[in-house]
């Protein structure tokens, strides 16, 4: 039997890349995408779990049992957000999803897409709140890994849901490709994150608490 996973954030830039990798993987039997808006599921491995919001009440009505892993790729950009607003949009929904997943899968695993420099003691607001989010996993009692990518390059077929970011990525694609090869400690790709997550799900041994950007690339190569 293959692995079954819950994917949160499938419409985002990183989530699209992760979904693409998992759909192609023979080791994956099923993927449940947790979304708040309509999602086209035209693949036999996919099923959609749509809720109005990620509140405890909405999540409690879902059947999340039998999921080997929860892949959490959701989260807004902090641009123009206050610290309290970013915390409410980042830490709070993660905590509620992890609680719901853990209740149904006490022996499960969570892979969370955090960010480079995540540290609850950081002076930088986004890094500090990402660090607080990582603490949610530590308190959950579940096996878990936080991936800390730097600059993420979308590969062909992956598009940001935000118009400005799509334009910026298209404009900077050649430079990002070169930077990715020259600075593996800073740059990564949507596929590398997906392949790293796939290895964590399929090979349950030695899951570290944190994988930094350069480690994402190494894990992706190892999975291939």
174-198: pLDDT as tens digits: 554 555 555 556 688 899 999 999 9
Both structure tokens of 31? 């993927």
**One pLDDT digit (tens) per residue for the chain, 224 residues:** 799 999 999 988 899 999 999 999 999 999 999 999 888 878 999 999 999 999 999 999 999 999 999 999 998 888 889 999 999 999 999 999 999 999 999 999 999 999 999 999 999 999 999 999 999 999 999 999 999 999 887 765 555 454 545 444 444 445 545 555 555 566 888 999 999 999 999 988 779 999 999 999 888 766 55
- Among residues 152, 144, 131, which one has the least CA distance to residue 97? 144
How far does Cα 130 stand from its chain's mean position? Answer: 13
- φ and ψ at residue 44, rounded to 5 degrees: -65, -20
In this predicted model, what pLDDT tens digit does every residue of 154-172 receive, in sequence order? 765 555 454 545 444 444 4
- Among residues 25, 30, 27, which one has the least CA distance to residue 4? 30
Task: Give the separation between CA 46 and CA 104, rounded to whole angstroms.
Answer: 19
- Among residues 60, 69, 101, 98, which one has the least CA distance to residue 201? 69
Q: What is the largest CA-CA distance in the chain?
A: 47
**Using CB atoms within 10 A of its CB, is residue 57 exposed (0-12), middle (13-18) or buried (19+)?**
exposed
Task: Give the separation between CA 152 and CA 114, rounded to whole angstroms.
Answer: 12
| pTM for this prediction | 0.87
Q: What is the pLDDT of residue 80?
A: 87
Mean pLDDT estimate for the chain: 87
Beta-carbon contacts of 66 under 8 Å, excluding residues fewer than 6 positions away, are 4, 104, 105
């Amino acid at each position: 039997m293959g692995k079954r996973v819950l994917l949160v954030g499938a419409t985002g830039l990183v989530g699209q890349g992760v979904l693409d990798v998992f759909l192609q993987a023979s080791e994956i039997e099923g993927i449940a995408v947790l979304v708040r808006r309509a999602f086209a599921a035209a693949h036999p491995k996919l099923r959609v779990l749509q809720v109005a919001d990620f509140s405890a009440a909405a999540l409690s009505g879902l059947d999340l049992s039998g999921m080997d892993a929860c892949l959490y790729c959701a989260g807004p950009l902090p641009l123009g957000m206050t610290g309290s607003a970013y915390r409410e949009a980042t830490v709070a929904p993660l905590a509620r999803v992890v609680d719901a997943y853990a209740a149904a899968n006490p022996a499960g695993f969570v892979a969370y897409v955090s960010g480079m420099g995540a540290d609850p003691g950081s002076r930088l607001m986004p890094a500090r709140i990402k660090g607080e989010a990582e603490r949610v996993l530590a308190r959950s009692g579940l096996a878990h890994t936080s991936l800390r990518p730097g600059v993420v390059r979308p590969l062909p077929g992956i598009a940001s849901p935000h118009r400005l970011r799509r334009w910026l990525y298209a404009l900077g694609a050649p430079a990002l490709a070169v930077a990715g090869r020259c600075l593996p400690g800073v740059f990564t790709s949507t596929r590398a994150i997906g392949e790293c997550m796939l290895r964590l799900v399929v090979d349950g041994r030695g899951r570290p608490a944190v994988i930094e950007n350069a480690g994402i690339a190494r894990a992706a190569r190892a999975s291939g």
